[in-house]
Structure 1
Amino acid sequence: MDGQRPVTTGERLTVGQVAERFGVTVRTLHHYDHVGLLRPSERSAGGYRLYTEEDLLRLRHVVVYRRLGLPLERIEELLAAEEPGAVLAHLRRQRESVLSRLAELADLVTAIDRALEKEMTGIDLTPQERRELFGEGFSDEYAAEAERRWGDTDAWEQSRRRTAGYDAEDWRRIAAETAAINQRFVEALRAGLPATSAEAMDAAEAARRQIHDRFYDLSPEFHRALGDMYVADPRFTSTYEDLAPGLAQYVRDAIHANADRAAG
């Protein structure tokens, strides 16, 4: 894979060396070891785990499959398949799937660019443009409902005042921040890390801080209510489920764990 140095025949690497070379965390490698997906074949005289050339080849396959979004259980099944062509056939199917997603993403980028050209401040988007930007789940009734539910709150007014001054570049940064935070949640979920892990809680804190800094004051305790809404309202739930199955509940649980951590 890109950026990875070739493995020398007979080479033995420690957990830290493997993490650095493959761009994964030590915690992830320990988790793969714990669930039996990738266990180091050897130990040093001091008892440290050592990965062999065969172990690293297996890890290369695991990394590829994880980037394709496969759950760990499915990866283990594929790697255990006796048929030599099973892995190749699956990779070909995944390649077609990725190409299809690339086409969809290209259309989404076009829709986002069109919205950004309107600078997203002071200029209303048409219903069709909003659907292109936010997905088929968007509706004018949904936006009106949000204003009815929260329009008389301090948070709504504070958010309205802040966003009124945002220009296209501000919204571009916010969109990038949101995508990066969501990707952190997805990676933690797909790595099999619990919602109480440092990675998941740190992503939840980043999500809280973004709302706090960009829109309205948001305490960790208030953030719990938002997390509950992500699983209580199907429209919010679908936003996360479209990124990864089970992500809405995972984000909610990470938000609660982060609030517990903040409370000491």
Structure 2
Amino acid sequence: MPDVTDADGLTVGQVASRLGVTVRALHHWDEIALARPSLRTAAGYRLYTTGDLERLHRIVVYREIGLGLEAIRAILDDPTVDVPDALRAQRAGVAERIDRLQQLSAGLDRMIDAHERGLVLTAEQQTAIFGPRWDPDWPAQARQRYGDTAQWRHYAERSASRGPEEWRAIADVVVGFERALGDAMEAGVAPGSPEADRLVEWHREIFASYFPLTRQMQVCLGRKCEADPGFAAHYDGIRAGLATWFRQIIDASARAHGIDPDTATWQ
């Protein structure tokens, strides 16, 4: 490269500003022989000519549509490369990325909806799945009460990935559990017995569909099932006295695991 004065070309900084790229990028393209300045000053500074700028413009254009540097080098320097075919391949790749981004956007919408509403289901779908006694306003009410808890976040994250069929399967499991609960009480199963303990474990497994349930938390739920009028009416509607018996088998199981039900807290 001949030695020239600064007036004979553009410096790296000037080119970077003109093309909207970084000086670091220009240095890198020089190092890999993708776009080398044709001139240097007597002090060794790089200078870019008009021809250099034309090549750089093409590099910037191809880079902006997503081509890698080696693909750009092939298009610029390899006469055997079919440029339209290379661009069609790039377009196909872009279309795939757009599709993935659209799926990601839809997933984000569902996650936001789940965190805000609890169930990503219409009111009609909720009633069809959970029965005519279900109130579609319950998830929103639960969010108002528990929306700042870790359990609500777990629940929302699981809810976002579930459609009607998944919720229907969970609802069927819950119905089966409650039927077994009522049958066990009616059959005289004693709290603390192996059969009662299996029901308690089954209850914890079901709740894992919503959020992880510790034994202490389960004790708190057992209390709520007995003390809350709405919950008590639900369980006692299955079998008279079931709400209290359910709380009793949970307490007995907790004691067997070293937990005092009287002092258990939501943790």
What TM-score, normalized by structure 2, do the two folds share? 0.48
Larger radius of gyration between Structure 1 and Structure 2: 2
What TM-score, normalized by structure 1, do the two folds share? 0.48
